[in-house]
Structure 1
């Protein structure tokens, strides 16, 4: 077994059963205790899991590895990833979430964090955990320095506390009545959305696929794929709803559909939330310096323009939650966003939360009478392709073909994840990068208008998918 086969740049992901087996999870739990928990003087870890068929066994094995070092474990049971981050932040303990997020049913994974939901990624301990777990597996040893007594285990239910914390950050009490359709994709939003968006709020909820089912019988819990949004789009239009919300499998990501059934670009949503967070920062008078917003390297130029117009300062981060969180903590950023519909909040321990992002949209929409499409129009300044994935045999050759194509058109190559090409007259931007979690090349194109975007998109896709 090769632990390196399931460790990515910022989490653990692989086929299960298969490369990510209980034995690997057990070794990873032991390594996590030794690399993260014990050096920080910690005595406890919070562990949650999603609804996938292999999640209980993987969680049990991981917990066994942690406990072998005398470290106690608090079991959250079924929860979303952002609820795990809440537990880690509120309890000041490291955490582990067993989930493969949006990946297909045959995959699983583990997301790790230090106390206070601080990230564990390539540059913050994940490589050490990988190497130590491999050492443990190679020697058939569960641990290197066993504790006399395994750590204690207890179960807690923090769902209500998590919901209360979200409501302390975004007040929905005074909004106008809204009709909302929610597609949970049979993922963990089916567990968390009712706890957060029901009760005395002026919200009418229509829920699609709220039953927890890790086989994903209706569609994959990946809202980045347009095919997985069709049911939500149809339900919003047929019901005359104000908007729709689609969550990924572990509910740390949200995609929004407006009242017309149109998918809201993630960058338009990011710009909207950024204006709210920057305005709130200014109203509270928290700092005399320019508040910072961290952005992934692929977000729209419109986000950058909006933040600068609001008097904010921009910091670019590599793609991936561990990198964005680390950059936010380093700069004390008030908000962070990625093109993949991950939204990060300083007041949520710099972590990402799909529900918190959705609550910002509901709060802003509920303050005025215009439809969502009208509210977001000022933030959709450029035409975007959305993320287009291609399975390519020789990714290096494909990237090089696109690089030469850009050079022939005097496009400037700029720093970013993978290949980023920028042209100014007319404006267009191409981002082409390898996925950290799947064997794919991911393409994003933005341009000043739809015609230019389509021309650039089609030309690059022809090169990417060209047979060698």
Structure 2
């Protein structure tokens, strides 16, 4: 038996991500497909997998390869072609099939990868199948894929129109006031999905939206800018276009369009925590109107405004670890109506507990269009505090750096918890602040997030914590 390859740099905690032709080849993709069949699909009695891909040039060949691996193991394949990741989740949900989305999300053009799910878009992460997929993939690359007696078949199905109609059924935009909306698709999948959801394709009713498209042409080389709205440089064109067109808001989607970032009428980026609070309150109110007690999930580095405002509304806010597999599992366990992350992933019970940037954008437009004020005015109460944003530091000894931070701030009365990394909180006394330090799963990095009720306090805590983390 040959030694198994170490694939930890390719098959990570939540997904598969690598450079095409180097660590992610068609041979590797075929082995991943076979491993997904044996680690996830077949043990749960499944016999078919739905597969989609984004606009990257390498997508079709990788779909054929991963589908070939599934078929080698006797699993049938339904290909839905070009789609966003939430489009793949929709297909997994309505078809009740496990799924594989071939995408590298916001990564540069040289990359591709895969996101996997069980039927009904249930997450596959490190402890829920992806670790086993990694191990089996290494084994199959070393020893070959055992071919089943019956090879699976392959077929296709177009799900785009049904995806658009499904989202329209969840948020009714027909009665809002007219809005001008700039959408930056970054030459990625939103250029494919925005017309299908917000346009009049497939007989959908016309909406009171004037969409100004930026970079809707699908091009996996990203000729205008990378499809990574977390980098402020990739929002500059959207911000300028909002001002140029006098738009009510701007929307920026990442490469696979499962995340949505919002820009207000002044060209200012709206923090994802404020969107979490806004949409969470809408979904909680809808749930409460049925007589049920609404639960909303937020990750632990979301603004403190999120749980405060949800609790004040009568909802139950629940804090989670960072990461989509953690939130999806908690959403399902608690039957939560909504969940949000600082990274602009937004999860909906009505969307199979999965994340969808498009549905979040529709909620923002609905909320804005149901009242007369500008977006900045509507958002201001949802964004009362000051945050540092996530700051990464390369460290030689993460444990020692974390201990320096813990010792210094615990001595000042901060309370500690270890839900995800280390959180130190001074929120119940003046001055009000909290910080979180988390280690990267894949790199020698510590990630720092700080929030305070006052700008000067945030800067002080941020700068002192960074000095401790980076102390030689």
Q: TM-score, normalised by structure 1?
A: 0.94
Aligned to 1:173: 174
* Structure 1 Cα separation of the partners of residues 413 and 185 of structure 2: 44
Number of residue-to-residue matches in the alignment: 461
* Structure 1 Cα separation of the partners of residues 441 and 245 of structure 2: 38
SS at match of 1:430: strand
The one of 275, 280, 286 equivalent to 1:269 is: 275
1:443 aligns with 2:448: yes
1:369 aligns with 2:372: yes
Please identify, of 408-417 and 420-429, the stretch whose mean Cα deviation from structure 2 is larger.
408-417
1:305-316 paired onto structure 2 within 5 Å: 305-316=308-319
SS at match of 1:133: helix
Q: TM-score, normalised by structure 2?
A: 0.94
* Structure 2 Cα separation of the partners of residues 55 and 463 of structure 1: 44
Aligned to 2:75: 71
Aligned to 1:228: 234
SS at match of 1:445: strand
Structure 1, unaligned runs of 5 or more: none
SS at match of 2:186: coil
1:37-186 paired onto structure 2 within 5 Å: 37-139=41-143, 141-143=144-146, 146-186=147-187
* Structure 2 Cα separation of the partners of residues 224 and 412 of structure 1: 30
* Structure 2 Cα separation of the partners of residues 249 and 278 of structure 1: 29
The one of 3, 21, 35 equivalent to 2:25 is: 21
- Tell whether the 8 Å contact from 2:258 to 2:356 is kept in structure 1 after alignment: yes
Pairwise CA distance, 1:432: 2.2
Aligned to 1:433: 438
* Structure 2 Cα separation of the partners of residues 176 and 435 of structure 1: 44
1:353 aligns with 2:351: no
1:278-427 paired onto structure 2 within 5 Å: 278-285=284-291, 287=292, 290-424=293-427, 425-427=430-432
* Structure 1 Cα separation of the partners of residues 162 and 39 of structure 2: 29
* Structure 2 Cα separation of the partners of residues 62 and 46 of structure 1: 11
Pairwise CA distance, 1:393: 4.8
Deviations 1:53-108 (A, max 9, x none): 32222222111110112211111111100000000000000000011111222222
Pairwise CA distance, 1:465: 4.1
1:255 aligns with 2:261: yes
**Is the alpha carbon distance of 1:277 and 1:419 closer, same or farther for their aligned partners in structure 2, counting shifts above 3 Å?**
same
- Tell whether the 8 Å contact from 2:295 to 2:316 is kept in structure 1 after alignment: yes
**Is the alpha carbon distance of 1:152 and 1:348 closer, same or farther for their aligned partners in structure 2, counting shifts above 3 Å?**
same
1:455 aligns with 2:460: yes
- Tell whether the 8 Å contact from 2:191 to 2:216 is kept in structure 1 after alignment: yes
* Structure 2 Cα separation of the partners of residues 463 and 233 of structure 1: 35
**Is the alpha carbon distance of 1:302 and 1:364 closer, same or farther for their aligned partners in structure 2, counting shifts above 3 Å?**
same
* Structure 1 Cα separation of the partners of residues 445 and 208 of structure 2: 42
**Is the alpha carbon distance of 1:263 and 1:359 closer, same or farther for their aligned partners in structure 2, counting shifts above 3 Å?**
same
**Is the alpha carbon distance of 1:212 and 1:391 closer, same or farther for their aligned partners in structure 2, counting shifts above 3 Å?**
farther
* Structure 1 Cα separation of the partners of residues 63 and 447 of structure 2: 31
Aligned to 1:32: 36
Deviations 1:214-248 (A, max 9, x none): 22222221111112111111111121100000111
* Structure 1 Cα separation of the partners of residues 225 and 435 of structure 2: 29
* Structure 2 Cα separation of the partners of residues 233 and 462 of structure 1: 33
**Is the alpha carbon distance of 1:58 and 1:403 closer, same or farther for their aligned partners in structure 2, counting shifts above 3 Å?**
farther
Please identify, of 334-343 and 1-10, the stretch whose mean Cα deviation from structure 2 is larger.
1-10
- Tell whether the 8 Å contact from 2:242 to 2:267 is kept in structure 1 after alignment: yes
**Is the alpha carbon distance of 1:430 and 1:297 closer, same or farther for their aligned partners in structure 2, counting shifts above 3 Å?**
same
SS at match of 2:37: helix
Pairwise CA distance, 1:10: 1.6
Pairwise CA distance, 1:395: 3.8
Deviations 1:401-438 (A, max 9, x none): 33333234332222332222211321111122234466
- Tell whether the 8 Å contact from 1:3 to 1:24 is kept in structure 2 after alignment: no
* Structure 1 Cα separation of the partners of residues 42 and 149 of structure 2: 15
